[in-house]
Structure 1
Amino acid sequence: MLALAALVLGTALSVLVAAGVRVIRPWEVGIYIRLGRFMGVLRPGLHWVPPFISSVYRIDLRTQVVDIPKQEVITRDNSPVVVDAIVYFRVVDPKKAFFEVEDYRMAVVALAQTTLRSVIGDMELDEILYNRAAINARLRRILDEATDKWGVRVESVEIREVEPSPTVKKAMEEQTAAERERRAAILRADGERRAAILQAEGEKQAMILRAEGERASRVLRAEGERMALILRALGEAQRLRILAAASAAMTPQALSILAMETLQELGRGQAAKIVVPYEVTRLLETLSSHLAGAAEKPQPGRADVEVLQEALQRLEQLLGPLPKSEDLMSEVKRLQEEAEQLRRQNPEKLEELLKPPKELAEEPAKNQAKQKG
């Protein structure tokens, strides 16, 4: 009998102990109430409370996420929009969250709905679309101040979607398309302006280069003609010197022989010619006397060297000194350098520059015409 009583007593004690055991998980706290009185907050771990007269209510301390349902709001510029948001909050004071509000989760959702409607209704549509970060910060500040007395801290509020009405959306699409067309027109106009400026700059540079090339080619052509005239004049002067030096030692017989050779040269042409020398009788007399009795006449002596030198000095004073070969070569080298520079700058003018002057090109034809004539 005693054994049965002890067994019953032990079983009752075991049930009583088991009924009073409470395990609080790491992310929770427990509100301990006994006989209607608040006894304290149970921290994570194993706790025993008197059964049947005590109650423990668990409160989650982790960050909770609630979705604010979509709602239609009229903005300050009378544009209807549908908005929804997400609120992140956590319980920081379990006692207030349990005793100050009946259901803190439902209270946070309702407060977020009304606050979101109030904030969106006080703003214009463009401001809502482009300033979501400012709206989020404003909502979080208002909600955090309001939920502080509930022991709840609002960590973040995010506007998830802002959807204007179909009419407003169509108007916004047309406005965006018009803005894009305006920007495209501005870009096209700017591109055309830049292209016109660049084209004008290119034409100006081309005209400058053409003018520079033309000027250089004219200068070189004139320089070439000048050098050709100088060389022809120097050749003529040299020829005159040689003739003057040779004529000092010529006798009348030699002059007569040269005259006959000239007549023979003229007679080689195919055309009929009539030549009447200025002193033909004198020429015939000289030839006849030379052929008949030239041996009896005294032979002229050699030209005096001093007389010949004096004649050459007079020619030197009259015609000037002959240019040296070094001067001519330096002048030719300078012309070649200018021609090379012109070839690099304006190759089209090189062929015109290398052509002989018109007088030099026509001189062989004039000589042939004289021979044929």
Structure 2
Amino acid sequence: MGQALCCIQVDQSNVAIKEKFGKFSEVLEPGCHCMPWVLGSEVAGHISLRVQQLDVRCETKTKDNVFVTVVASVQYRAIGEKAVDAFYKLSDTSEQIQSYVFDVIRASVPKLNLDDVFEQKNGVAKAVEEELEKSMSGYGYEIVQTLIVDIEPDTQVKRAMNEINAASRMRVAANEKAEAEKILQIKRAEGEAESKYLAGLGVARQRQAIVDGLRDSVLAFSSSVPGTTAKDVMDLVLVTQYFDTMKDVGAATKSSAVFIPHGPGAVHDVATQIRGGLLQRPQ
């Protein structure tokens, strides 16, 4: 109907290219325009002024000979003032942008190691954007932004990187575990040393108390029973301790004591051996 009435409508965010007898005439802005087709006027095409996005996948090699696939996302739009260049100078805008992206990425990534590619992806994106801006402005297009959205190494390379990372973490964990065990052993040894030291003090004090008690007992017994000697008192103490020991062994329900041939008369022999080996001065 619009063509029959020699009118045409251009939608918002678009422009139309008007030709007359096959030659460019003017750029039609959004709105309604008179198009006298009987006089040779016609619309050659429309150009969108909206921002468009093109994702480019480029396979290349890093400096350390690792093949990666770099995915670049290019956001671009046609410039309204240069709509004529955008319409007539390029037959396939996507192919042209893709060619420039390939050229820049394959020139930049081989200069970097794999780890540096991940760290410096913003630098690669900036280089792509600058090259596209310089080249596409002459064709009537503006580069809004360029992003490196993904870097995909080979599957085996990713598996190897994960294994290296896991091994490194396991090594750190092993070192931390060994350090913790070392601290535990040191603390355990310090505790055992302190325990043995205190046990030694306890034994020494026990023996001192026994010696003091025996001395007081001998003195008290000698003063109470005239005619007794220290030897008699010591024999009596040994016999008393002997029967106390037998009583404790017999009262225990579960005992691991080992009995050897003995008798009450053996106490005298033990006392004699103690006096002969420890108390009497060698001749």
Please state which band the TM-score falls in when normalised by the shorter chain: 0.5 to 0.7
Q: Which residue of 2 aligns with 1:215?
A: 201
Does residue 50 (structure 1) correspond to residue 15 (structure 2)? The answer is no
Question: Aligned-pair distance for 1:184?
Answer: 4.1
> Over the residues paired in the alignment, what is the CA RMSD in angstroms?
4.0
Does residue 85 (structure 1) correspond to residue 71 (structure 2)? The answer is yes
Give me the TM-score of the superposition, normalised by structure 2.
Answer: 0.61
1:22–1:178 CA distance, 2 compared to 1 (3 A): closer
Question: Aligned-pair distance for 1:135?
Answer: 2.5
Question: Aligned-pair distance for 1:194?
Answer: 4.4
Does residue 120 (structure 1) correspond to residue 109 (structure 2)? The answer is yes
Unaligned runs of 5+ in 2: 227-233, 243-263, 266-283
Question: Aligned-pair distance for 1:139?
Answer: 2.3
Does residue 142 (structure 1) correspond to residue 94 (structure 2)? The answer is no
Question: Aligned-pair distance for 1:47?
Answer: 0.9
* Structure 1 residue matching 2:5: 3-state secondary structure: helix
Matches of 1:178 and 1:359 in 2, distance apart?
Answer: 78
Asked if 2 retains the 8 angstrom alpha-carbon contact of 1:88 and 1:156, the reply is yes
- 2:14 aligned to 29, 34, 40, which one? 29
Matches of 1:139 and 1:360 in 2, distance apart?
Answer: 108
- Quick one: percent identity of the two aligned structures? 10
Matches of 1:365 and 1:50 in 2, distance apart?
Answer: 133
Question: Aligned-pair distance for 1:130?
Answer: 5.0
Would you tell me which structure has more strand in proportion to its own residues?
2
Q: Which residue of 1 aligns with 2:271?
A: none
* Structure 1 residue matching 2:36: 3-state secondary structure: coil
Question: Aligned-pair distance for 1:214?
Answer: 2.0
Q: Which residue of 2 aligns with 1:99?
A: 85
Equivalent residue pairs, number: 228
1:173–1:41 CA distance, 2 compared to 1 (3 A): same
Q: Which residue of 2 aligns with 1:109?
A: 98
Question: Counterpart amino acid of 1:29?
Answer: N
- 1:162 aligned to 147, 152, 168, which one? 152
Matches of 1:83 and 1:200 in 2, distance apart?
Answer: 53
Matches of 2:54 and 2:27 in 1, distance apart?
Answer: 28
Asked if 2 retains the 8 angstrom alpha-carbon contact of 1:70 and 1:84, the reply is yes
Question: Aligned-pair distance for 1:145?
Answer: 3.8
1:176–1:201 CA distance, 2 compared to 1 (3 A): same
Matches of 1:136 and 1:206 in 2, distance apart?
Answer: 64
Q: Which residue of 2 aligns with 1:61?
A: 49
Matches of 1:197 and 1:362 in 2, distance apart?
Answer: 48
Matches within 5 A, 1:1-373: 18-24=5-11, 26=12, 28-33=13-18, 35=20, 36=23, 38-43=25-30, 46-52=31-37, 53-55=41-43, 57-71=45-59, 73-77=60-64, 79=65, 81=67, 83-91=69-77, 93-99=79-85, 101-103=89-91, 104-129=93-118, 131-149=120-138, 150-164=140-154, 169=156, 177=163, 181=167, 184=170, 187-188=173-174, 191-192=177-178, 194-230=180-216, 233-234=219-220, 237=223, 239=224, 361-362=237-238, 364=240
Matches of 1:41 and 1:217 in 2, distance apart?
Answer: 111
Question: Counterpart amino acid of 2:143?
Answer: R
1:155–1:38 CA distance, 2 compared to 1 (3 A): farther
Matches of 2:128 and 2:53 in 1, distance apart?
Answer: 15
Unaligned runs of 5+ in 1: 1-13, 244-357
Which is greater in Rg? 1
1:360–1:139 CA distance, 2 compared to 1 (3 A): farther
Question: Counterpart amino acid of 2:34?
Answer: V
Question: Counterpart amino acid of 2:5?
Answer: A
Asked if 1 retains the 8 angstrom alpha-carbon contact of 2:10 and 2:28, the reply is no
Would you tell me which structure has more helix in proportion to its own residues?
1
Asked if 2 retains the 8 angstrom alpha-carbon contact of 1:89 and 1:156, the reply is yes
